[in-house]
Amino acid sequence: MKLKTFNELPNQKDIKEIVKLIRDYAFPNFFRESPNKDIVKKNIAKLYMNIVTNDSYLLDFIEQLDDITLSLQKDLEFFYQSDPASKSYDEIVLTYPGFRAIFHYRIAHIFYNQNEYLIARTISEFAHSKTGIDIHPGATIGDYFFIDHGTGIVIGETTVIGHHVKIYQGVTLGALSLTNGRSLEGLKRHPTVCDYVTIYANASIFGGNTVIGENAIIGANCIVLESVEENKRLTLNNDM
């Protein structure tokens, strides 16, 4: 495998700036004074053309900006409703590491789906380095997603998460085995978490065939290697 040269790699400053511009689009005049949305959108388009390897997806990317905004509004509402310690939406947007990680994920996921894997992973690592939350951009995550505290959370590439899911610090949604790792590329290696599931601190769920059913609760410190039925409450003292 041949490595790209420095001049062939996307500019890190441009990647950071496009994230900031999308933040301005989703939260106008919140982090900094910003022009109207049409101008912000044009600036996003210019940077997009600078960093991608295939600019044929530009229209698709621009069209998804409103989807990102809507998803983030739903996440923000769910954060506020889920955490009695939160005093305002402003506090969540400015200070909550879980919301920051989700924001970066939702941008990175679009680049990932456009096969811009390096850009996607770079964006996810911006959040990972600041929050300790590692969400692979390939994961599929529904609306109304809540991460509380967050430090140490790992969500693998082929994870599927439904709507109204709550995850606490130290949770791992991982692969059951990485023996002969390259041969597993493209396979479903990570679990599926259905709607309205809560996963408490330091629980670990492994395997591409593992499905956590709707409304299930996974207690703290559980290690889950098999599917869990809907409405099931699983704790360290339960037998599956």
Q: Which domain holds residue 235?
A: 139-240
**Residue 5 located in a structural domain:** no
**Residue 233 located in a structural domain:** yes
Q: Pick from 114, 132, 150: which residue ends a domain?
A: 132
pTM over 0.85: yes
Phi/psi for 206 (5° steps) reads: -125, 150
Say if residue 123 is in the same domain as residue 53: yes
Q: Pick from 132, 165, 195: which residue ends a domain?
A: 132
**Sole residue written with tokens 């949770």:** 171
User: Based on the number of CB atoms within 10 Å of its own CB, is 213 exposed (0-12), middle (13-18) or buried (19 or more)?
Assistant: middle
**Residue 64 located in a structural domain:** yes
**Residue 82 located in a structural domain:** yes
Say if residue 120 is in the same domain as residue 176: no
**What is the rounded distance in angstroms from the CA atom of residue 136 to the CA atom of residue 62?**
22
**What is the rounded distance in angstroms from the CA atom of residue 101 to the CA atom of residue 135?**
7
SS3 204: strand
Say if residue 61 is in the same domain as residue 91: yes
Identity (one letter) of the amino acid at 179?
Answer: T
DSSP 1: -
Say if residue 29 is in the same domain as residue 124: yes
What are the C-alpha distances in Å from 144 to residues 54, 86, 178?
31, 16, 31
Number of Cα atoms under 13 Å in the Cβ half of residue 113: 13
pLDDT (tens digit, 9 = 90+) per residue, 58-107?
999 999 999 999 999 999 999 999 999 999 999 999 999 999 999 999 99
Please say if the pLDDT value at position 7 is more than 80.
no
Structure tokens at 64: 């998804």
Say if residue 116 is in the same domain as residue 165: no
Q: Pick from 81, 105, 132: which residue ends a domain?
A: 132
Q: What pLDDT score does 17 carry? A: 97
Identity (one letter) of the amino acid at 114?
Answer: Q
Q: Of all helices (H) and strands (E), which one includes residue 23? A: helix 12-26
**Residue 226 located in a structural domain:** yes
Please say if the pLDDT value at position 167 is more than 90.
yes
Please say if the pLDDT value at position 3 is more than 90.
no
**Residue 48 located in a structural domain:** yes
Say if residue 74 is in the same domain as residue 166: no
**Residue 2 located in a structural domain:** no
| Of 99, 97, 106, residue with least CA distance to 130 | 97
Q: What pLDDT score does 34 carry? A: 87
Residues in the chain: 240
SS3 213: coil
Say if residue 81 is in the same domain as residue 185: no
**Residue 36 located in a structural domain:** yes
Please say if the pLDDT value at position 29 is more than 60.
yes
Q: What is the CATH number of the domain that holds 157?
A: 2.160.10.10
Q: What pLDDT score does 181 carry? A: 74
CA 223 to the chain's CA centroid: 22
**What is the rounded distance in angstroms from the CA atom of residue 208 to the CA atom of residue 185?**
12
Q: DSSP string of 91-122?
A: HHHHH-HHHHHHHHHHHHHHHHHTT-HHHHHH
Say if residue 121 is in the same domain as residue 162: no
Say if residue 73 is in the same domain as residue 164: no
Q: What pLDDT score does 1 carry? A: 65
Structure tokens at 51: 């960093």
Say if residue 23 is in the same domain as residue 88: yes
Say if residue 125 is in the same domain as residue 88: yes
Total domains present in the chain? 2
Q: What is the CATH number of the domain that holds 74?
A: 1.10.3130.10
Say if residue 167 is in the same domain as residue 104: no
Contact 167, 149 (CB under 8 A): no
Q: DSSP string of 146-186?
A: EEES-TT-EE-TT-EE-SSEEEETT-EEE-S--TTGGGGTT
